Amino acid sequence: MEKSARRRLDCISRHLVLPPQANHGLQQVLLLNNGQVKSEEAEPVVIGGMVLDIHATPSIPANPRTTTPGKVSYVLGGVARNVAECISKLGAKPFMISALGLDMPGNLLLEHWKSSGLSTEGIWKHQNIETPVVCNVLDVSGELAAAVASVEAIEKFLTPEWIQQFKYNIRSAPVLMIDANLTLSALKASCQLAAECEIPVWFEPVSVAKSRRISSVVKYVTFASPNEDELVAMANNLSGGNVYRPIERNNSRKKCSTETLFHLLKPAVWVLLEKGIKIVVVTVGSDGVFLCSRGGPSFMRIGCEGIKPFVSNGELFNTVTASCPSNLFSSPLDSEGSSFLFAVHFPALPASVVRLTGAGDCLVGGTIASICAGLDVMQSLAVGIAASKAAVEGETNVPSVFNLAAIADDARSVYSAAKVVFHQSMPMQFLKDGLIYHVQAIKAGFPLTIFTSNQLIHLYSRNGLLREAQKLFDEMPQRNVFSWNAIISAHIKAQNLKRARQLFDSASYKDLVTYNSLLSGYVSADGYEDCALELFSEMKSLDYGIRIDEISLTTMLNLTAKLEVVSYGRELHSFMVKTANDSSGFAVSSLIDMYSKCGYFQEAWWVFSGHREVVDLVSKNAMVAACCREGKLEVAVNLFWTEPELTDNVSWNTLIAGYAQNGFEEEALDLFVRMAENGFRRNEHTFASVLSACSGLRSFKHGREVHAWVLKNGMTSNSFILSGIVDVYCKCGNMKYAKSVHAAMGFENSFSVTSMIMGHAFHGNLVEARRLFDSLAEKSTVVWTALFSGYLKSQKCEAVFELLSEFRAKESIVPDAAILISVLGACAIKAALDPGKQIHAYILRSRIEVDKKLFSALVDMYSKSGSITYAESLFKRGSDRDIILYNVMLAGYAHHGLENKAIQIFNEMLERGIKPDVVTFLAILSACRHSCLVELGEQFFYSMKKDYNVLPEIEHYACMIDLYGRANQLDKAKELMRKIPIESDTIIWGAFLNACRVNGNTILAREAEERLLKLEGDIGDRYVQLANLYAAERNWDEVCRIRKKMKGKEAKKAAGCSWLYVENGVHIFISGDKTHPRTEAINFTLALLAEELYQIS
């Protein structure tokens, strides 16, 4: 059939065209004019197919498997050819790069091109090329019903090498238009040539299948012009999964409002804009066109700044600008790079439709021609729609002549309609402009449409102006379901859920979005879990067209994860399977998230493995996050590097965060560097995770480097990132830098204030820590915890007890585990058993959940407060013993000199497969030191690195030196001092001085004294220790020397103090101090007691 048709076409061609050209050798690389452009004026370049279309239009509805009467015609076509011809009809001179055979279809196309006065220089012509032919079967209304295409020549002969010959044409073009019939390599070569001179690129998708080729060149594309199905395909391809679904074409579609259609398309449009495309032109058939950009009004010049208008196109420019004056709101803001979606709707023009096959091509061609003439995007698209109307009313894909006057009239009609929508869309994003527009509308007496009012409600809500949003809603004379959804969402966003429920109950219109919005609000807020369950049950019983969908179910999965009730999650999972709502990437990721957060990692893995055939980017990221949460980093890494095409910024951020949270800070930093090397852009989540890694490493160097990256990337207004920088500097002890960043923030942030309080407290500046704490009007539990931890770190136990009293007096909430751990730590340091018991009783009475850390703190308090028996009893009750609990118990036994029990616990720990760490060995060595077990101590010390790969630290060496000193083996202490691989500090020399004191070696003690004074300066305690050593030797001359030295250096011995915990308060007594408020009463009582003692004696 195909061959016979081609024979008939060849026969016809003999009467229409010249004889075939001579047969030249087939060359894929052909230099023309040495690659130079001879045209005096730069030309828009169009690269793509030139096709002969065979159009078959039935006169009655076609029946399958039989012949239907109608009309068959040959039409010159091809997306790129149609676009280029339309551009030429409107006054520009496009340069066409294509490939044609010297057969009948090719000769027809070529002769027509020459007759239009257009250059054929960029068209590869050869007899071995089979000219592309497309057979289009239309329906009775002129819509495309089916098509068969033979277009292999475009992919085969439009190669990068051929395109490269015209690099000067491309580099000097005002705009480059490419269609998706090109191969990936040809698309990329074309775009790279344009990118070298910053030439705007227009991508025409051609078809659903070929639209996916956008992924190879998306970073170069300025404009894209998909229809709604191509848009969805492109978005899915760019997002790495089947996330977005085509809009169903059924009877209800005809009733779909412009607003509804826009909201359905918006997520897919956003994907294209997020990937860097400046402007997306979405054609939606009889519903018109959406012009979308990332930003506000100034988008009309985005991508067009460098385009020089053609002198020959002055007539088009003058005619259109006379009918369509440039918009008044075209330049108040430069909003490129805004995080908001801006969209304008252009209605379709009424037309007497003959055929629709060239409509989209003429829309693109008319728009490009107008942009090249110097018109803005709004004006240009109006011309494109007018050209599209002319195309559907003709027999050919491109009208033979455009009537500029008619074009201008039609452009004015659509432009004026678009202006209204444009003004209405403007308040969607910018608060200032929204307020200006609202005021201008009120002053002019211009009634706001429902669409505008809805957008303003969303705008006010986003900017925290709930009162203004509610007032506008109350003043609306008419409302639709979007109005109710907007105001309900506004109250949900403001956490005003009771009012949101009242509005929900009184709403005149409700749809599934209304229910899902309130459901999501309940799930996100604390304390509304029962309301969420009740609303979901209500949704299941609805019988008026509202059915639970995937969003409803995944929202409830989030609630299940929040409550950690896996049984309910399994019920939801079963319901999702029954209703076929479990197969999308979003659903799979929600299931994975639910099971992993409920502690059922294996079931999360089964869900992931069971949907391998539909695994997309969303579900893969969810599984990587679950592995990180479970600590299975090796699995996460393997999954991350498998299928690298399913990797995005979220994937990298998830793995970096996983490393940082699991203690692999250096790996997190390495991945941070590799992320940029692999072409992925870092965002605020990346920096937040890597700053956490820097804090964990206490790395000032890396912290400063990340700070520099933050400044370079313009993220200095992000409170989370700045707080992370403050935290790094605080953890690294550089409070000067921390204070500088915190002061420059310009706003208070609980995390940064907490970091500053902890930084000051941990580095001894408790006065400043307390000042910051007192400066806060409202103090969160985190801030209280920071001050408690700071006091404990500085061993200011009295301040800890006083702060507890202050907390209980000022706060109505129960102190959390972190605060209680600090208080118990203070009790342990001071061996305050009674206060410790009171805290324990308070925990039991208040039914505070005792986690591993709090349980270990209780054991530690009892063991160090003299109640080792009760500590042992608690320890044995602990079923889930970890390394921390074992270390606490070991330290308790060591503190009480119970070396046998300490060794027994150590062996039990090894039997349970728990690897000892530096703290474990410090505790076991302390036990050996207390009992002078030298051989056993040496055995443990030397097995650290040999058997357990644990490097001894300063404290371990000091413990061994003290052990040798107590065992009168000072020679071994001296030998160990020489072997220490790290520089000895005050801890080592202090231990050696004590060993010398025990052994009475004043010569070595003098050496230790000199070293300590160099390291520490003039500290009274060291002088006292030396004086006691000489006094024991009855060397009174040296005692006098030391005393004189103390006096000359003004070194003072720290005063000893006593304290009592009475009636929930701490009372401190220092020798010679009379500042206590009840000093006289105390002294009087002491005098009475002394008198009684005297009488008794």
The answer to whether residue 107 sits within a structural domain is yes
- Give the pLDDT of residue 68: 85
Judge whether 557 and 590 are in contact, CB under 8 Å. Answer: yes
Give the E-state strand segments of 160-254 in sequence order. Answer: 176-179, 201-204, 223-224
Tokens encoding 331: 């330049």
Rounded CA gap, 867 and 685, in Å? Answer: 47
Residues contacting residue 587 through CB under 8 Å, at least 6 positions apart: 550, 553, 554, 576, 581
Comparing 104-113, 784-793, 819-828, the range with the smallest average pLDDT is 784-793
Residues contacting residue 975 through CB under 8 Å, at least 6 positions apart: none
Question: pLDDT digit string (tens) for 622-663?
Answer: 888 888 888 888 888 888 887 666 677 888 888 998 888 888
- Give the pLDDT of residue 328: 37
Task: With cut-offs at 50, 70 and 90, classify the pLDDT of residue 1047.
Answer: low
The answer to whether residue 250 sits within a structural domain is yes
Q: What is the DSSP letter of 227?
A: B
Residue 807 has pLDDT above 80, yes or no: yes
Specify the higher pLDDT residue, 262 or 114.
Answer: 114
Question: pLDDT digit string (tens) for 249-268?
Answer: 544 444 566 767 777 788 78
Strand order in the sheet with 144-150: 70-77, 51-58, 133-138, 144-150
The answer to whether residue 382 sits within a structural domain is yes
Residue 1053 has pLDDT above 50, yes or no: no
Judge whether 590 and 619 are in contact, CB under 8 Å. Answer: no
The answer to whether residue 605 sits within a structural domain is no
Smallest CA-to-CA distance from 561 within 645, 626, 655, 485 is with 626
Residue 1060 has pLDDT above 90, yes or no: no
The answer to whether residue 550 sits within a structural domain is no
- Residue written as tokens 């009730």? 565
Q: Where are the alpha helices (DSSP H) in 20-101?
A: 79-89
Average pLDDT of the chain is 79
- Segment 476-505 mean pLDDT: 88
Q: Domain end: 382, 403, 425, which one?
A: 425
Q: In this structure, what are the phi and psi dihedrals at residue 456, rounded to the nearest 5 degrees?
A: -65, -40
Q: Are strands 279-283 and 95-101 parallel, antiparallel or unpaired?
A: unpaired
Q: What is the pTM of this model?
A: 0.51
Q: Domain end: 400, 425, 450, which one?
A: 425
Beta bridge mates, 203: 178, 224
Quick one: how far is CA 484 from the chain centroid?
Answer: 30
- Give the pLDDT of residue 314: 60
Residue 594 has pLDDT above 50, yes or no: yes
Specify the higher pLDDT residue, 742 or 243.
Answer: 742
Percent of the chain with pLDDT over 90: 18
How far is the CA of 550 from the CAs of 580, 585, 947, in angstroms? 9, 11, 54
Residue 1027 has pLDDT above 70, yes or no: no
Question: pLDDT digit string (tens) for 845-903?
Answer: 888 888 888 999 999 999 988 889 999 999 988 878 888 999 999 989 888 888 889 89
The answer to whether residue 671 sits within a structural domain is no
The answer to whether residue 680 sits within a structural domain is no
Smallest CA-to-CA distance from 430 within 334, 316, 357, 494 is with 334
- Vertex 746: Cα angle to 745 and 748 (nearest 5): 85
Task: With cut-offs at 50, 70 and 90, classify the pLDDT of residue 696.
Answer: confident
Residue 429 has pLDDT above 50, yes or no: no
Dihedral sign computed on CA atoms, order 725, 731, 733, 739:
positive
Beta bridge mates, 101: 126
Judge whether 529 and 562 are in contact, CB under 8 Å. Answer: yes
DSSP result, 967-994: TT-HHHHHHHHHH-SS---HHHHHHHHH
Rounded CA gap, 296 and 1085, in Å? Answer: 81
- Segment 158-185 mean pLDDT: 92
Question: Domain count of the chain?
Answer: 2
State the distance between the two ends of the chain, measured CA to CA, in whole angstroms: 133
Q: Domain end: 392, 425, 458, which one?
A: 425
Q: Tell which phi-psi region holds residue 241, choosing left (phi > 0), alpha (psi between -120 and 50) or beta.
A: beta
Map residue 439 onto helix, strand or coil.
Answer: helix
Beta bridge mates, 293: 279, 342
Residues contacting residue 264 through CB under 8 Å, at least 6 positions apart: 247, 256
Judge whether 503 and 483 are in contact, CB under 8 Å. Answer: no
- Give the pLDDT of residue 526: 83
Q: What is the CATH number of the domain that holds 208?
A: 3.40.1190.20
Provide the b/e sequence for 758-780 (b: ≥16 CB within 10 Å). Answer: bbbbbbebbebbbebbeeeeebe
Residue 600 has pLDDT above 70, yes or no: yes
- Vertex 263: Cα angle to 258 and 267 (nearest 5): 140
Question: pLDDT digit string (tens) for 681-693?
Answer: 788 888 888 888 8
Residue 303, domain extent:
2-21+29-425
Tokens encoding 1069: 């007594």
DSSP result, 238-260: HHTSS---PPP-SHHHHT--HHH
- Give the pLDDT of residue 641: 83
How far is the CA of 29 from the CAs of 48, 187, 351, 485, in angstroms? 18, 17, 46, 60
- Give the pLDDT of residue 430: 53
The answer to whether residue 385 sits within a structural domain is yes
